[in-house]
Amino acid sequence: TSFRIAVIPGDGIGKEVMPEGLRVLEAAAERFSLTLEYQTIDWASCDYYEQTGSMMPADWREQLAGCDALYFGAVGWPAKVPDHVSLWGSLLKFRREFDQYINLRPVRLFEGVPCPLANRKPGDIDFLVVRENTEGEYTSLGGRMFEGTEREVVIQESVFSRIGTDRVLRYAFELAAGRARKHLTVATKSNGIAVSMPYWDERAEEMARHYPGVATDRQHIDILTARFVLQPTRFDVVVASNLFGDILSDLGPACAGTIGLAPSANLDPERRFPSLFEPVHGSAPDIYGKGIANPVAMIWSGALMLDFLGRDPALADGTPWLRAHDLILRAIEIVLADGPRTPDLGGDAKTEDVGRAIARLVRTL
Amino acid sequence: TSFRIAVIPGDGIGKEVMPEGLRVLEAAAERFSLTLEYQTIDWASCDYYEQTGSMMPADWREQLAGCDALYFGAVGWPAKVPDHVSLWGSLLKFRREFDQYINLRPVRLFEGVPCPLANRKPGDIDFLVVRENTEGEYTSLGGRMFEGTEREVVIQESVFSRIGTDRVLRYAFELAAGRARKHLTVATKSNGIAVSMPYWDERAEEMARHYPGVATDRQHIDILTARFVLQPTRFDVVVASNLFGDILSDLGPACAGTIGLAPSANLDPERRFPSLFEPVHGSAPDIYGKGIANPVAMIWSGALMLDFLGRDPALADGTPWLRAHDLILRAIEIVLADGPRTPDLGGDAKTEDVGRAIARLVRTL
Ligand SMILES: CC(C)[C@H](C(=O)O)[C@@H](O)C(=O)O
Ligand SMILES: CC(C)[C@H](C(=O)O)[C@@H](O)C(=O)O
């Protein structure tokens, strides 16, 4: 079986880390005899917007027909295109229109990465954030009234559907049930946000009944952020709404040293649409062009992609794909502990040096 | 001039830390010849709810008429009363009905307090969170449709008024303008929350024009939480919506060691209504009754109250009130560095030991 990957570098350092992501994928593909076909996409970028006035061509769906996954760099270049235009016109559009309702974001402290938390060692921080990725607080619903006057008022609506809420909770419970610790933290703020969050709590309680083996812990987002800093070892799987998941999946990686290493998987677990794999970091205009961006998040996102593809029920045997994921992770661990480092980690290596080092290990380990 | 204080211990450890707060206020009052009258309130507590079926009497406003400030312990006892009932029936009601639109929350790392961040010393973390306290994301507006069915949908509305947005921004800009660093961070999430947050940004930009001396920095809430951990020294004043301010004012104190020390001032800066001063920590049912709660947040909140009262334009000379605030802070510093400690800080002192030690210093320093 072969899978088809749309390669979308996007903007800024997305274009610099993508070649390293591909380099490592190639090394893994060779090693494990995986067949990947690539299709490079130059739209979903602010350059494309400058030329055409939109972020994506009208036939973007057709162009991506037949793709199994999108391997995505980063999008956004505020000096050229306002963020809401570039993001809602590409990344957020993919998440919604391809119904990638799970945003899975692993958080891990690695050996060799300076940790901002005192006295934490690898193993102390190792959990998964499961973020709802299609609804909730991220909407354009609402509006303004009495505009420009003293009594101007703005209403913003959040939308939580039963389907949308249940499916992300179910995914998180399943994930927790399959892990050693079987622990799930449910983020909420039902003591302040009085309509949607009590609903979220109710659905979580209902779902918990079907997973008696999973220990569930409901926490308000305010104290939960505090606990990420004070007690990171207590977390195993954390499930959260779109906004809360966004916050926790930046805060978590920061507690583990840097958001520069964090990967993410935007999944349609039912595989009706292609899933999207991207670093959590953005396009970083401030360092673009120097060749010093850290490619680990891009490479790790590629590993998540192989893992997801390998679990496709259409595959006779997905094991090589899962082993490829594990080997890439192992190579990342080794390079972070003891290999070339980009300046964000205190070294003077180039993006390419890190990519080559990881690819070499994937070939030889 | 004398001020009248409503003393509202509330629930749980609120009842244990309140006597220490009052002890220190009395010491400061004697030392600086401040006149404070107290009126003790037993409602706004879950005990009262159990007896009467509501959190506050019908004539609560009348009973508080003539009060200049509310000195508030903590409210909530989930085993007796659901949180949304106890909170919306007391604390959140005060904030709204007394239009305490500023929630001011200082964040500081003290000598002697173990910091969860590596290599941070006192001075590295010292900023103020200004939280909008009456509108925004905290509402009961919205509802459910298609209830109990597969297509169930829940809409939650957030409300941002021009008046509500401008007044909290203005307060924060004024505050920043009066400080040495003159730096203001504006929390947002306009790239995802597409109606209210762009409005918030617009109003902040407009307000910034009137404060050319203040350096303004707009940051999305996700990366902002990461920076609290990675770069806490960069913050001076941080202004945020109700929800984002709630999150940042738990996360900030956690970065500075514990939310157990954090005080807060819920202010009506126009003094049409009494302002409310309360620890950020809650009623902590798990440690209630042991006499080991840390009273510093309560005591510090009392100092914030004296400071606010001392700035009342009706006072001929507010200096003694401001000096009382400063002296209490100094006493807190000394006791945290070198005095009795409650178990949360690794000691075995009682709540009362800490209160007495601070009061003694306030009398003698
Ligand atoms: C860029 C932004 C819209 C996006 C989000 O908030 O989802 C990003 O922060 C992320 O976490 O992927
Ligand atoms: C108890 C809760 C409603 C409250 C809030 O979210 O405002 C608390 O967390 C706070 O920060 O004062």
Q: Cβ A162–B143 below 8 Å, yes or no?
A: no
**Other CB atoms within 10 A of residue B51 CB:** 11
Q: What is the pLDDT of residue B1?
A: 80
CA of B246 to the centre of ligand 2 (A): 6
Q: What is the pLDDT of residue B53?
A: 97
- Which residues of chain A form CATH 3.40.718.10? 1-101+268-365, 111-142+154-261
* pLDDT tops 90 at residue B84: no
* Tens of pLDDT, residues B192-207: 999 999 999 999 999 9
* pLDDT tops 90 at residue B318: yes
Kindly list the residues from chain B whose CB atom is less than 8 angstroms away from the CB atom of residue A193: 137-139, 156, 243
Q: What three-state secondary structure class fits A57?
A: coil
Yes or no: say if A238 and A90 are a contact pair by the CB < 8 Å rule: no
Q: Cβ B150–A163 below 8 Å, yes or no?
A: yes
What is the distance in angstroms between the Cα of B89 and the nearest Cα belonging to chain A?
11
**Rounded mean pLDDT of chain B?**
97
Q: Cβ B229–A161 below 8 Å, yes or no?
A: no
Output the CATH code of domain B103-259. Answer: 3.40.718.10
Query: Phi and psi of A215, rounded to 5°?
Result: -80, 120
* Tens of pLDDT, residues A277-297: 999 999 999 999 999 999 999
Q: Hey, which of A188, A189, A190, A191 would you mutate to test ligand 2's pocket, going by the most ligand atoms within 8 Å of its Cβ?
A: A191
Among candidates B151, B158, B226 on the partner chain, residue whose Cβ is nearest the Cβ of A156: B158
- Which residues of chain B form CATH 3.40.718.10? 1-101+268-365, 103-259
Q: Cβ A192–B225 below 8 Å, yes or no?
A: no
**Nearest ligand, CA of residue A247?**
1
The percent of residues in chain B predicted with pLDDT above 70, rounded, is: 100
Total residues belonging to chain B? 365
Q: How far apart are CA A214 and CA A181, in angstroms?
A: 8
- The confidence band for A299, taking pLDDT boundaries of 50, 70 and 90, is very high
Strand partners, A186: A218, A239
- The confidence band for A1, taking pLDDT boundaries of 50, 70 and 90, is confident
Kindly list the residues from chain B whose CB atom is less than 8 angstroms away from the CB atom of residue A134: none
- The confidence band for A84, taking pLDDT boundaries of 50, 70 and 90, is confident
Query: Which two tokens mark B316?
Result: 């001929």
Indicate the pTM of the whole model. Answer: 0.96
Burial A286-306 (b: 16+ CB within 10 A, else e): ebbeeebbbbbbbbbbbbbbb
**Other CB atoms within 10 A of residue A336 CB:** 21
Q: Cβ B162–A155 below 8 Å, yes or no?
A: no
Q: What three-state secondary structure class fits A191?
A: coil
**Other CB atoms within 10 A of residue B188 CB:** 22
Among candidates B151, B197, B221 on the partner chain, residue whose Cβ is nearest the Cβ of A247: B221
- Options 3.40.718.10, 3.40.50.10680, 3.30.70.270, 1.20.1730.10; CATH for A111-142+154-261 is 3.40.718.10
Yes or no: say if A83 and A76 are a contact pair by the CB < 8 Å rule: yes
* pLDDT tops 90 at residue B15: yes
Q: What is the pLDDT of residue B265?
A: 98
* Tens of pLDDT, residues A6-64: 999 999 999 999 999 999 999 999 999 999 999 999 999 999 999 999 999 999 999 99
Q: Cβ B194–A222 below 8 Å, yes or no?
A: no
Q: How far apart are CA A10 and CA A49, in angstroms?
A: 11
What is the distance in angstroms between the Cα of A82 and the nearest Cα belonging to chain B?
9
- Nearest CA to B277 out of B309, B250, B312 is that of B309
**Nearest ligand, CA of residue A86?**
1
* Tens of pLDDT, residues B233-255: 999 999 999 999 999 999 999 99
Q: What is the pLDDT of residue B313?
A: 95
Closest residue in chain B to residue A281, using alpha carbons only: B223
* pLDDT tops 90 at residue A89: yes
* pLDDT tops 90 at residue B167: yes
Ligand 1 and A87: CB distance under 6 A: yes
CATH architecture of B1-101+268-365: 3-Layer(aba) Sandwich (3.40)
What is the distance in angstroms between the Cα of A351 and the nearest Cα belonging to chain B?
22
CA of B52 to the centre of ligand 1 (A): 47
Kindly list the residues from chain B whose CB atom is less than 8 angstroms away from the CB atom of residue A194: 84, 88, 138-140, 156
Q: What is the pLDDT of residue A63?
A: 97
Q: Cβ A194–B153 below 8 Å, yes or no?
A: no
Q: How far apart are CA B358 and CA B299, in angstroms?
A: 9
Amino acid at A202: E
Q: Hey, which of A75, A87, A241 would you mutate to test ligand 1's pocket, going by the most ligand atoms within 8 Å of its Cβ?
A: A87
* pLDDT tops 90 at residue B34: yes
- Nearest CA to A136 out of B243, B23, B255 is that of B243
